[in-house]
Structure 1
Amino acid sequence: MTKPPPAIGLRFLRPPPLSPSPISFNFSVTQLPRITCSYSSFEVRDVSYQPPGTQLRLLNSVSFSLPEKSLGLIFGQSGSGKTTLLQVLAGISKPTAGSICIQKYGNDGNPSQPPEPLVPERVGIVFQFPERYFVADNVLDEVTFGWPRHKGNHYLRENLALGLQRAINWVGLSGISLDKNPHSLSGGYKRRLALAIQLVQTPDLLILDEPLAGLDWKARADVVKLLKHLKKELTVLVVSHDLREFASLVDRSWRMEMGGNLREEFLPV
């Protein structure tokens, strides 16, 4: 948010000038500042997906929206199309029809500007068992593995370094040595590291595929607690079968039915 010029702030701190005559106030010309409550929403509009060269439609006119800084949950049977949907949202697969965008709204609830397509670079995705894909010998190299290596991106690398510090703090890894081998971390901390990698460049949408899979009860509780914090900063979409653990965090939820049909369904409290 842009800070007002110093003169504006000081104007309200300065006492009125002394005057022998009574001070009068003309309320008729006083205008209160307008307060805006604009917000953004991640929106999927009539998205279908049919793999090239096949007649099989894996997603069938999927539509849903998720306001910024909230957590959405998609659940359903295996093979219903949940992972396919995540791949389409992340840009790994291109939808056959429909659009995926960020829509901004004004305080009147109406769109304040045309929708912006959600580009893959603005999506962070953590797949199931992400620790299987760790490639580096220490935490720092793992997080920075995909960073630009040539000198022309010095400014970008500075921003990434700042983002790294923020991401490490967000996921609670500040007490872990950056020289530590990522494969020596506990299951819960491996998931934290996988999240940090995606959070260095703050995404418009963070997608998590079965984030509790393979973890013991303590690590599961730690990840749920972490997501409770992250949804205050980011828009988070989770695919999971673990409905009970996420019930207290979810703002919106949907069931994916066989045939790639998505419908909103509230979780039992």
Structure 2
Amino acid sequence: MDVFQAIQAQMQGMAASDEPPLADVDVSHMAFHPAGTEAPLLRDISFHVPAKKLGLIYGRSGAGKTTLLQLIAGLTAPTSGSICINETAGNGMKSTVSSPTDRLSRTGLVFQFPERHFLASTLQQELAFAWPTDMASLQLLSSRAAVVLPALGLAHIPLETQLRQLSDGYKRRCALAVALVRRPSVLLLDEPLAGLDWRSRADIASVLGKLKEECTVIVVSHDLREIAPLVDVAWQMQPNGTLSAERDIRLLDNAVL
């Protein structure tokens, strides 16, 4: 059973609003010009990632890929243009969120080196960080974690494990777990394979293949060999902060590896 399907099965009888909505991401003529800089960092960015697909933004380091991901996540606001998350709930109700605050509550962002952004010492503390402490909320967290952790290959890791003791690959999985228990509409991954050995890269790529069946995923990366087979839509970030036209993923391997 897939991650979110298993969560839904355990959550039967709870409010329908707890079900994860389908979501697509639409970025239209978006630009970002940080204060104090001579030129925009991103220029006229437009792309669309359909629901339950994996979109890839690839290109050289320093081209603005991470900044684009942070803008989608709502960590900062674009200078112009729009970023919208269009959701369809299980009851068919549709809604669009576009403000940075609303996007921040709908997205899960996993940084390139998530161990630098952990806010607690143990896996249990990290999962529960800023989570409501009433009994119903804690039971919900426990139920979700009981499904998410095994799905990510973390069932054998004791919850009291110190995060600093884990390998880089398992730290990456823990960061994914923290994002997934919060049930985001859109999962945003910054260089998910960076710094990992070949076995960990293959394991994380396998996890991504499962996740994209259950939620919308946007990845920024310059490592393509393992990710390319999973990609549904892809764009190349140019050094001047623009995106190329959508690329044919069947040509992606030969084009940029």
What is the TM-score normalised by the length of structure 2? Answer: 0.79
CA contact (8 A) 1:101 1:115 kept: yes
Deviation at 1:115, TM superposition (A): 3.5
Which whole-Å deviations, capped at 9, do the CAs of 1:87-122 have from their partners, x for residues lacking one? 1111111111111113368xxxxxx96643252111
Structure 2 residue 198 is the aligned partner of structure 1 residue 214: no
Unaligned runs of at least 5 residues, structure 1 = 1-38, 106-111
- Determine which of 45, 56, 79 is the counterpart of 1:62: 45
Deviation at 1:55, TM superposition (A): 3.7
Deviation at 1:139, TM superposition (A): 1.4
Spell out the pairing of 1:124-163 with structure 2 (5 A cutoff): 124-149=108-133, 153-163=134-144
SS at match of 2:230: coil
Spell out the pairing of 1:30-179 with structure 2 (5 A cutoff): 40-103=23-86, 115-117=96-98, 119-149=103-133, 153-179=134-160
CA contact (8 A) 1:71 1:235 kept: yes
CA contact (8 A) 2:23 2:52 kept: no
SS at match of 1:92: coil
Deviation at 1:44, TM superposition (A): 0.9
CA contact (8 A) 1:40 1:103 kept: yes
Deviation at 1:226, TM superposition (A): 0.6
CA contact (8 A) 1:254 1:266 kept: no
SS at match of 2:43: strand
Tell me which of the two structures has the higher relative contact order, counting C-alpha pairs closer than 8 angstroms and 6 or more residues apart.
2
Between the aligned partners of 1:225 and 1:245, the Cα distance in structure 2 is 9
CA contact (8 A) 1:166 1:200 kept: no
Between the aligned partners of 2:73 and 2:85, the Cα distance in structure 1 is 14
What is the TM-score normalised by the length of structure 1? Answer: 0.76
Between the aligned partners of 1:187 and 1:116, the Cα distance in structure 2 is 34
Deviation at 1:144, TM superposition (A): 1.3
RMSD over equivalenced CA pairs, Å = 2.2
CA contact (8 A) 1:170 1:230 kept: no
Between the aligned partners of 1:90 and 1:122, the Cα distance in structure 2 is 8
SS at match of 2:196: coil
Deviation at 1:86, TM superposition (A): 1.0
Moved more, 153-162 or 204-213: 153-162
CA contact (8 A) 2:23 2:185 kept: no
Q: Structure 1 residues 48 and 69 mapped into 2: Cα distance closer, same or farther (>3 Å)?
A: same
Q: Structure 1 residues 195 and 53 mapped into 2: Cα distance closer, same or farther (>3 Å)?
A: same
Which whole-Å deviations, capped at 9, do the CAs of 1:208-232 have from their partners, x for residues lacking one? 1111111111000000001101111
Between the aligned partners of 1:114 and 1:251, the Cα distance in structure 2 is 24
The structure carrying a bigger helix percent of its residues is 2
Unaligned runs of at least 5 residues, structure 2 = 1-21
